[in-house]
A and B are shown apart, each in its own frame.
Chain A
Amino acid sequence: MNNKIKKPKIVWLQAITCNGNTHSLLSANANRLKLFLDSFDLVYHPSLTTDTLLNDLLIEKNEIDFLLVEGAITSNKDFFQISDQGINEALKKLVLKSKYLIAIGSCASYGGVHQKFEQNDDICGLTDALDETDISYLTHPIINLTGCPVHPEWIFQTLFSLKEYKKVPLDEKGRPKEIYSYLAHHGCTRNEYFEWKVEAKSFGLKEGCLFYEQGCRGPMTHSNCNKILWNDVNTKTRAGMPCIGCTEFDFPRNNMLETKKNIGIPDEVPLGVTKRAYLSLAGVAKTFKIDRLNEKIIK
């Protein structure tokens, strides 16, 4: 290995979190994780490294290439302290030394599950926690890698892209377009059932679409889960669990495991389709009684 080339420096900061994104990263494909560790210099992670402490980072003047933040931010020191200070103070100090700021997961992006703790009313994501002055030295807009948790591959792809091309195109919610232009629906093994409007009769089946009864948000959730697969092998919807829309701004919603309906019709229809068009289409599709789709896959 050529040691003369300086590896980009990464700092992973933890705010209000369950550590799910950390464990998602640690469960990444081993070769990818190794390449990542070889290509970047992960100088600080509160769960992992042994050489650097957060306090050292806060004091020293050295620049950070990538500041990765896991968890939601609060200014309330009563509820959250890290190394004797509020997380927003620590965050602001580190952002001023950083080139790129990346929100790891839905909590860091928009507040996520932790924002539901209403007794602390200023829990928010990075964008809302920082003002113009705080982010004035960043060379790129804040990147939101949403997901509860985030897929490790999304982290790798974003970091390697930035290393190579210095920027990634973002959508209006600050998420990399190449990841979040897809819908969770794309690549789902239940898609054929969706096309022909064959609903899953219940949980616990390989057959049927989870959109009609079980609350699946696959057709309206931006993510490429079914394109890159989780843990290299599966996804929630393939396994039989409805997509709960964990990459979206409004996660978590209420009644996530059931489909809200109006006179038997799903209240929300797939993204970009009018309700009327959807109903006509569904009506036509349902007239096709395809035996194959109403039987067990493996007989």
Chain B
Amino acid sequence: MKTVDIVERIEGEAKLICQWDKEKISDVKIQFLNFRGFEFILKDKPILDALVYTPRICGICGQAHLKATVEAIEDIYKNHNEELTLTNKAKLLREIGLNIEIIDSHIKWFYMFIMPDIVKFSNNSLEEYSALKGKKWLEASSIASETIKSLAVIAGQWPHTSYMVPGGVVSDPTLLDLVTMQNYMDQAIRFYENSLIGTNLDTYLSFNKSEDLYKVKGDLKDFITISFENGFEKIGKSYNRHLVLGDSLSFEKGKISRKLTKNIDYENIEEFTTNSFDIDKSKVSKEAYTWSKTALYANSFYETGPLSRAVVQNRSFVSDIHKHYNDSMFTRVLARMDELGFLLSKTKELIQQININEESFIKPKVSLKDFHYGIGQSSVEACRGSLYHDVEIENGIISKYDVITPTVWNLGPGIDNKLSTSQKAIVGIDSLEKAKLILRSFDVCSVCTTH
């Protein structure tokens, strides 16, 4: 038997084609049928315009794309032995902006994109979670819009600003601006404490073993209860291999296959189009079924995202839960909400570290137009995982721009009889509804996947 289903509410849509054998999914194809061609759009554009274009790859993680672009450009300088100096203030303002975007996305994702579906598996009627009407949905949308104001203070607006430029940032916040940002963070922390976890943030951050799950209250407890009632801790398991490409004050890079290594080499990243469409129709193989490409690290599929970040960084609570339940759907969702708490605390700390007397921007001495040829690479941690940019310029004009988004790592097609991360997580499942939930536990972003 074969079923074809359209999955919405994933920032676009995907088609899930399942092959069934004895009431279990024996094969699955995830199709993304929309293609916007950003890598083609960027070609032949002046390199600095990429700062305006790439945030528009995605309305949710635009700041991650901006940071990846600005760091790839700075890598071009570095490769010409013209490394730019960044003040600590500029570095902090960039990372804080990106973190706030992740915080906003995590709040929205839990309440707006996944809980309205998770509660359908509950034995109780949880109407408070219903989209657009439910009390919790409205509360979450309210706190998300308050939280993102703290980013607008330094970036001018959200979504779609280009406040990071080679050499620093364009803004110069005052002390009161920083206090305002702290206030918005405090509001978000209160929401996290009162609504999501039902306990004090510091108490929560001291949780370090899976038994502490019983101490979690609030809306996250609803999720935990529904998960154990439905066995979500047993489904959605994939290779349990994890990848974090981005390095920052908040995250550590590294990978786990059998064991953890902090050594990451961009040379090991490969992208394949064997099962993907090509804009040149004559090159499309018979096997092609999606616009997403396949991304591999050292010839293997890796998962990327909050769960991977937590285990690579060895954050104790999630790491211990992971020891018990591996990369299950339950662990994946829980890790995302755990990261929300971690980032709220971390970001507040980073704001406190800013010294307003430092420069925000130090003008590069050399123009990119002066480089006959240049290459640069970068990677940052976006809401959904590792984002990688690889750019090549000639006389200041983009000759090649390659982007690998987190969702390509997680949701791209399998290759050479190897199932991709998400395919492997879905195969063996006994219901289409669960399969769709597993798919969405990766926090799918359709627009990013097919950029």
Chain A contacts to B: CB under 8 angstroms: 14, 16-24, 26-30, 33-34, 37, 42, 46-50, 53-54, 78-84, 113-114, 116-120, 148-149, 202-206, 225, 230-241, 244, 246, 252, 254-258, 298
Contact = CB atoms under 8 A, between A and B. Distances in A.
A241 B112 contact: no
B49 interface: yes
B131 A49 contact: yes
Contact of A21 (B59, B104, B180, B361): B59
A123 B34 CA distance: 13
B112 to A, nearest CB: 7
Nearest to B34: A80
B58 A234 contact: no
B198 interface: no
Interface residues of B, number: 76
B132 A46 contact: no
B155 A20 contact: no
A241 B66 CA distance: 13
Contacts of B277: 78
A27 B159 contact: yes
A244 B52 contact: yes
Given A20-B159, A23-B59, A204 B171 contact: yes
Contacts of B162: 241, 244, 257
Interface string B38-55: 101100011011011100
Sorted nearest first, the 5 A-B pairs with minimum C-beta distance are A204-B361, A20-B59, A204-B360, A230-B157, A239-B156
Contacts of A237: 156
A236 B156 contact: yes
Contacts of B159: 20, 23-24, 27, 149
A79 B40 contact: no
B361 A50 contact: no
Most chain A CB within 10 A, of B53, B132, B360, is at B132
Contacts of B152: 230-231, 233-234, 239
B136 interface: no
A47 B137 CA distance: 13
Contact of A46 (B13, B36, B281): B13
B165 interface: yes
Interface in B247-304: 277, 279, 281
Contacts of A252: 49, 52-53
14 contacts: A20-B56, A30-B141, A54-B8, A78-B281, A84-B6, A119-B40, A202-B361, A204-B172, A205-B360, A225-B157, A231-B149, A234-B155, A240-B163, A257-B48
B4 to A, nearest CB: 9
A47 B9 contact: yes
Interface of B: 6, 8-9, 11-13, 33-38, 40-41, 45-46, 48-49, 51-53, 56-60, 62, 90, 104, 108, 112-113, 116-117, 130-133, 138, 141-142, 144-146, 148-149, 151-163, 165, 167-172, 174, 180, 277, 279, 281, 359-361, 363, 447
Nearest to A42: B132
A241 B163 contact: yes
Contacts of A246: 160
Contact of A81 (B33, B56, B60, B170): B33
Given A149-B160, A257-B162, A234 B34 contact: no
B407 to A, nearest CB: 13
Contact of B144 (A24, A26, A234, A258): A26
A117 B33 CA distance: 16
Contact of A241 (B40, B58, B171): B171
- Most chain A beta-carbon contacts within 10 A, residue among B51, B144, B160, B161: B160
B157 A231 contact: yes
B170 A204 contact: yes
Given A27-B158, A236-B156, A241 B170 contact: yes
Contacts of A148: 56, 160
